[in-house]
A and B are shown apart, each in its own frame.
Chain A
Amino acid sequence: MQSTTGERISVTIKLHSVLRTLETTEPRSRVLLELAPGSTVATVVATLKIPEMDIVYVLNESVVESNALLHAGDTLALIPALEGGCCAQRVKTEVQPINTVLNIRRMS
C-alpha cells in the first residue's frame, strides 16, 4: 500500500530516445519529480503518462521492475527497450518431427 504521508521525495528521472520528446517538441533528458513517499517506478510511469511500451528501468545502478520503491535522491533511467525480435514471441520448442516438407533429413 502506498503511503502518502510524510515529506515528498525528490527523484531524478532520465529519459531516453523517444521518451525525450514525450509531450514536448524540445528533447528533455532529465526531469525532476517530487513524489509522495512510497512511490514506485510505476508511479513515475503513470505520472509522466508514459505510453504502453517495453521499458528497461535502471534505478541508480541496478535494473529493477516497475514495483521497485523509490527513495529521496534516487536516479531512475527509463530506457525504451530494443531487441532483435528473437523474444518478441516464443516459438514452440517441444519435440516435433523434422520436417518432410523441407526435404531435410535430421542428422544423428
Chain B
Amino acid sequence: MLRVLRVNVSTDVISFDPVPKAWERVAGRALIARVLLDEVPPECDPCGPHNKLIFAPGVLVGQMVSSCDRLSIGGKSPLTGGVKESNCGGSTGLHIVWLGLKAILVEGSPAAGAALRLLCIGPDSAHFEECSDVLGLGVHETTQRLRSRFGTKVSIAMIGPAGEMRLRGAGIMHLDKDGNPGRISARGAMGVLMAAKGLKAVIIDPGKTRRPALADAPRHNAARKLYVKALAEHPQTSKIYPEYGTASIVDMCNGFGAIPTRNFSNGRFEHAEKINGDAFHDLMVGRGGEGDPTHACMAGCTIQCSNIYADVNGKQIVSPVEYETIGLVGSNLGISEPDMIAHLNYQMNDLGLDTIETGAALGVAAEAGLMEWGDGLRAMQLMEEVRKGTALGRVIGNGAKLAGEVLGVQRVPVVKGQAISAYDPRAIKGTGVTYATSPQGADHTAGLTLRMPVDHLKPEGQVAASRTAQIRMAGFDSLGACIFGAFGFNLAPTTIQDLVNGQHGWDVGADYLTELGKATIDLEREFNRRAGFTPADDRLPEWMTLEALAPNNTVFDVPAAEMDAIYNW
C-alpha cells in the first residue's frame, strides 16, 4: 500500500500517512494540481510556509518500463506565481516508488537564518542531516561528496548555488542512471522552492527495495512487450532519436524559420549546420573516448535519446546536450561552436540553472549590450557573475523577465514570467497558443505542435492543434511517461490501459489518457484562477504580435477570443 511522506520543516515532524481517497487514482502532474487545490492557499507567498514542495512520480513509475519512470516536482511557482509541474527523468522517481511512496510533501518554513539541510529518506524512515560541507558548492562537486557519504546506489535531488541564492532560474538537479547530475526539473524555479524549504538535497536510498508487485502481472508484461516492440519498430524511436537525439530538431526548426536567433529577432540561424544534430553526432562519434550519441537517462529506456558530449581528448564535458539548450544557448546568443555550447551547458548545470530560462536571459543581456552576439567567452564570464552572486549575476540568474525589466529591454520572450522555449511562436503558431494559454507558462513540453497537420504560419487551426497537444502532454506527464514513448503507445494503442490496469488493478478504459489530460488541465486552471490569473495572462508578449519574424515575416496573430475558448471541452 502506497503512503504519502509528509515532512514539516517548521516542526521537523515527519510522518508516513495513508493516501487520501481523492488522491488514490491520480499521480504525477495531476496529483500536484490536486494537492495544490486541496492544501495550498492559491494566494500564498511561493517561498512562504503555506506553499508545498511536492514530489509525485507518475502512474506508471516504478516498473522500469521504457521511458515511464519520470518524476513530477511541483508547487506554486516562485517564477510564474501559478501552478507548476516540472518533469524529469533520472532515477529519483523510480526510487521514490520503490520506497512505497505515492508522494513526498515538504511543508512549512525553516527557522529564519537556519542553514540548508539534507532530507534523507530510506525504507520506512526519513530524517534530516546537516550538510555544511556542500553548501555553496556546484552540483557536480556536491554529487561527488554526497555519493561518497551515502553510497552510489542512492538517488539525489539537489540544488546548486543558484538555488541557494534563490535565483528564479534555478531548478532541481537529479542523477541519471550512471550517477551523473545531468537531469533537471528545470522550469518554474523549483530550486528556489526547495531552498525556501531549507533543503540543499533530498537523498533517496532505496535500500533493498525493488519494483512493487504487479496487480496483474501477465497483463502488464504482455503490454510491456507490445509497447517495447512498437518502440523498436518506429523509425523515430529506433533510429533517429537514439543516433542523433533531439539536436536533430535544429534543422527542422531552422527550416521552418522558427529557431530562436539573437534574442528571438530572427527565425533562421546562418550557422545552423555547425550546431545541428549531424554536427553534434559526428563530434561525439569522431572524438571517441567518453563521448556517446546514444545514452539512456533512465534505467530500462530503449529509446536512449540522451547523449554524452566529450572534448577533443574524449573527456566528457556534459551530458546531455539537448535541442532546447542548443537553441537558447547557441543560436539565440549567436554562438555556433558546439564545444562552447557544451561548456555553457555544463556551467548552467553546475549552478543548477534552467538552460532555457538562462539562455533567454543571456539573450536579453546581449540585446542590452552586455555581450556581443556569438561571444561565448563573455557568456561564460556572465555565468561566473552568477556563481559569485554579483548584482549582475543575480539579474541574469533570475531569468529573462527580470533581466528585461532591469536592463530596459522590450523584446523579452516570456509568458507568465517564464521564458519561451526554442520554437518561435510566430513561425510555429500552435506552440505559440500553448505558450500563451498553458497554466504552466511558456513551455514547449506543455504541448508542442511541430508536426501537427497545420500550416504553422497561418492562424487557422492552431488552437485545435494546441488543445490536442496539451491534453496529450498533460496525460503523459501524469502517467510519468516520456512523450517520446508515444510512438510506441500509438502503434500499440491498448498498452496504456493494460499497463495501468496491470500495475494497479484498476479498470481504466481506452479514453484514460484523454480524460487524465483534461482533468489535469482543469485542476491547474482552477488553481491559477484562484491565484488571480485572468485571460489577460493567457497572451504572448505584445511585441510578438507586432514585430514580424524573418524569414517568413509573420507575426503571432491567433485571435485572442479563440485562445480563450481553448479549454471549453
Residues of A within 8 A of B (CB): 16-18, 20, 27, 29, 51, 53-54, 56, 58, 61, 63, 77, 79-96, 98-99, 101-104, 106-107
Contacts and interface: CB of A to CB of B under 8 A. Distances in A.
Contact of B515 (A17, A80, A87, A98): A98
A79 B255 contact: yes
Nearest to B234: A88
Contacts of B525: 107
Given A16-B276, A87-B468, A99-B519, 5 more contacts: A17-B278, A56-B252, A79-B248, A106-B522, A107-B37
Main SS of the interface on chain B? helix
A19 B453 CA distance: 23
Contacts of A104: 26, 30, 34, 519, 522-523
A63 B34 CA distance: 42
Contact of A83 (B24, B268, B448): B448
* Most central of A77, A89, A107 by chain B CB within 10 Å: A107
Nearest to B552: A62
Contacts of B493: 89
Contact of A84 (B256, B448, B490): B448
Contacts of A106: 519, 522
Given A82-B236, A104-B519, A87 B453 contact: yes
A102 B522 CA distance: 13
Interface stretch (B215-223, B349-357, B469-477, B538-546): B469-477
Interface stretch (B46-54, B121-129, B172-180, B239-247): B239-247
A93 B24 CA distance: 26
A20 B512 CA distance: 40
Nearest to B447: A86
B467 A93 contact: yes
Contacts of A18: 235, 239-240, 243-244
Given A98-B519, A104-B34, A79 B252 contact: yes
29 contacts: A16-B278, A17-B240, A17-B248, A17-B251, A18-B240, A56-B251, A77-B255, A80-B236, A82-B241, A84-B444, A84-B445, A86-B448, A86-B452, A86-B468, A87-B450, A88-B451, A88-B487, A88-B490, A89-B490, A90-B468, A91-B468, A91-B513, A96-B511, A96-B514, A96-B518, A101-B25, A101-B508, A107-B522, A107-B526
A17 B277 contact: yes
Q: Which 7 A-B pairs have the closest CB atoms?
A: A85-B486, A107-B526, A86-B469, A58-B255, A83-B451, A99-B515, A89-B490
Interface of B: 21-22, 24-26, 30, 34, 37, 235-236, 239-241, 243-244, 246, 248-249, 251-252, 255-256, 268, 276-278, 281-282, 444-445, 447-453, 464-465, 467-469, 471-473, 475-476, 483-487, 490, 493, 506-509, 511-519, 522-523, 525-526, 529, 551, 569
Contacts of B452: 86-87
A63 to B, nearest CB: 6
Contacts of A29: 278
Contact of A96 (B453, B475, B515): B515
A93 B256 contact: no
A16 B248 CA distance: 8
A9 B22 CA distance: 67
A84 B484 CA distance: 6
B506 to A, nearest CB: 8
A87 B513 CA distance: 14
A77 to B, nearest CB: 7
Contacts of A27: 278, 282
Contacts of A63: 255-256
Contacts of B484: 84-85
Contacts of B448: 83-84, 86
